[in-house]
A and B are shown apart, each in its own frame.
Chain A
């Protein structure tokens, strides 16, 4: 058992567990977005940044950093709240996140994070990029305007369904999640139509057809429900 401290509370972790695992076991809340139980951590969104006091205040993503003996972790502070809010504002400014008009309004992890982190406006200029919506799939749609590039769909498709339909194309703000190397989703020969990507998506970027404003609820816990019944080799 590994012993560490998180927000001055003693915490424990098994070898192989992360700082985030230890924090959750100790009842300390750390906001996350790209992290999803059952999927490999990637540390992409940086919302779970924590400060390690005995590493000279170095910032590390809690979801992707292994718990280590003697770590003195700050999980919540004014500095971290300010950093997390800045990251969140950049996510909102990057694409066209218009809550009032979104299928996931009221059921969105991005929207909930704004509430949690006290974001009452975005201080960065909005980019208002021109992005497409692909509704070619029979059951689902993808609206790139609402995508935060967390990669939960990409990992759910690869790691749980094993179909490897989704991938990233492009670099930086121009990155897009694409099916089958850029083909229309509806023409994908690898997609099994299972919908795990839709359930994993934290925003309204992936949605079920037929859902209108505020109707799309997700079940991201579905992925862990599946993998726990199917132990990894």
Chain B
């Protein structure tokens, strides 16, 4: 049986969801028999491949590059998963949303040249950090800050069994 092609990506988040994923510990070995990691911050592959079965997206979408990459990845992916609260709700990155973009950047960088205000050498900061489903179609939502490893495991097992994982009770919880 061919391995399931899994990818993950890290946008506006703290990498805590990826850390929690690594907390699968010995279960990673079992996972490795069933899936192939084709793109991720934890593997050394630079290009997002064309045919990905499952993509776990950590983080909100906070700048133009992230928005572009998410749209491209969506096109090349069968099942896109909002992985963790930032991807599902905007969470901590969205704390800046009530404040004007220019005010946020000036507060951080002071007067003079402010990176991210316009499209340039660094991507433009979007007016608000948004959850994934504000930009692309999201197939599954895995909330939690971060989702605990056990919850990720329940979710992945359901997904790999070809089912639609229904998180309930303690496995469906924000924060």
Contact = CB atoms under 8 A, between A and B. Distances in A.
A55 interface: no
Residue from B85, B138, B145, B173 having most chain A Cβ neighbours under 10 A: B173
B175 A105 contact: yes
A179 B144 CA distance: 35
A33 to B, nearest CB: 16
Contacts of B128: 128
B19 to A, nearest CB: 14
Contacts of A131: 98
Contact of B145 (A99, A115, A120, A123): A99
Residue from B133, B143, B174 having most chain A Cβ neighbours under 10 A: B174
Interface residues of B, number: 28
B99 A130 contact: yes
Contacts of B88: 120-121
B97 interface: yes
B94 A126 contact: yes
B143 to A, nearest CB: 6
A214 B154 CA distance: 25
7 contacts: A96-B95, A98-B95, A111-B174, A121-B133, A121-B143, A129-B98, A131-B98
A98 B170 CA distance: 18
B134 interface: yes
Contacts of B145: 99-100
B85 A121 contact: no
Contacts of A120: 88, 141, 143, 167, 172
A115 B173 contact: yes
Contact of B89 (A105, A108, A122): A122
The size class of the interface chain A forms with chain B is 20 to 34
A102 B94 contact: no
A123 B88 CA distance: 10
Nearest to B99: A130
A128 B174 contact: no
Residue from A98, A102, A105, A118 having most chain B Cβ neighbours under 10 A: A98
B131 interface: yes
A118 B89 contact: no
Given A118-B168, A125-B134, A128-B128, A99 B99 contact: no
Interface string A130-152: 11000000000000000000000
Nearest to B144: A100
Residue from A101, A106, A120, A130 having most chain B Cβ neighbours under 10 A: A120
